Amino acid sequence: MAKEVTLMINGQEITVPAGTTVLEAARQADIYIPTLCYDPELSLWGGCRLCIVEVRGWKNLPASCITPVRQGMVVETESPAVRHARRTLIELLLANHPEDCLACERTGACALQDLAYRYGIRQSSFTGKRRNHTIESGNPFIVRDMNKCILCGLCVRVCSEIVGRSAIDFANRGFFSKVAAPMDLPLERSECVFCGNCISVCPVGALTGKPMWGQGRRWEIKKVQTVCPYCGTGCSFNLNVKDDRVIGVTSNPDAPVNGRWLCIKGRFGFGFIHHRERIQMPLIRDPFLFSKVNWDQAIGLAARKLKEIKAKHGPDSIGVLASARCTNEENYLLNKFARAVIGTNNIDHCARL
SS3 string, 30-60, reads: CCCCCCCCCCCCCCCCCCCCCCECEECCCCC
Q: Given pLDDT bands bounded at 50, 70 and 90, which one contains residue 326?
A: confident
Tell me the average pLDDT across 315-319. Answer: 96
Specify the fold of 4-78. Ubiquitin-like (UB roll) (3.10.20)
DSSP 134-192: PPB--SSSEEE-TTS-----HHHHIIIIII-----EEES-GGG-EEE-GGG--GGGTT-
Lowest mean pLDDT among 34-38, 166-170, 183-187, 232-236: 232-236
Residue 1 pLDDT greater than 60, yes or no: no
Please state, as a whole number, how many other Cβ atoms lie within 10 Å of the Cβ of residue 279: 9
- pLDDT given for residue 353 in this prediction: 61
CATH classification code of 217-276: 2.20.25.90
Q: Of 75, 71, 25, which Cα lies nearest the Cα of 55?
A: 75
Domain with CATH 3.10.20.740 in the chain: 4-78
- pLDDT given for residue 330 in this prediction: 86
CA pair distance 296, 236, nearest whole angstrom:
31
Read off the pLDDT of residues 187-241 as tens digits, 9 standing for 90 and up: 999 999 999 999 999 999 999 999 999 999 989 999 999 988 887 788 999 999 9
CB 84 within 8 A of CB 38: no
Read off the pLDDT of residues 74-122 as tens digits, 9 standing for 90 and up: 999 999 999 999 999 999 999 989 988 889 999 989 999 999 999 999 8
Residues of the chain with pLDDT > 90: what percent?
84
CA pair distance 54, 61, nearest whole angstrom:
5
CB 86 within 8 A of CB 76: no
- pLDDT given for residue 49 in this prediction: 95
Residue 183 corresponds to which amino acid? M
CA distances from 31 to 9, 25, 210, 211, 333 (A): 8, 9, 36, 37, 47
Please state, as a whole number, how many other Cβ atoms lie within 10 Å of the Cβ of residue 271: 10
Helix (H, G, I), strand (E, B) or coil at 114: helix
- pLDDT given for residue 48 in this prediction: 95
Tell me the average pLDDT across 43-65. Answer: 96
CA pair distance 326, 332, nearest whole angstrom:
10
Read off the pLDDT of residues 136-159 as tens digits, 9 standing for 90 and up: 999 999 999 999 999 999 999 999
CA pair distance 311, 324, nearest whole angstrom:
30
CA pair distance 240, 252, nearest whole angstrom:
11
Tell me the average pLDDT across 38-56. Answer: 96
| pTM confidence score | 0.86
Tell me the average pLDDT across 259-277. Answer: 94
Residue 324 pLDDT greater than 80, yes or no: no
- pLDDT given for residue 114 in this prediction: 96
Residue 302 pLDDT greater than 90, yes or no: yes
Report whether the peptide linkage leading into residue 315 is cis, meaning its omega lies within 30 degrees of zero. Answer: no
Domain with CATH 2.20.25.90 in the chain: 217-276
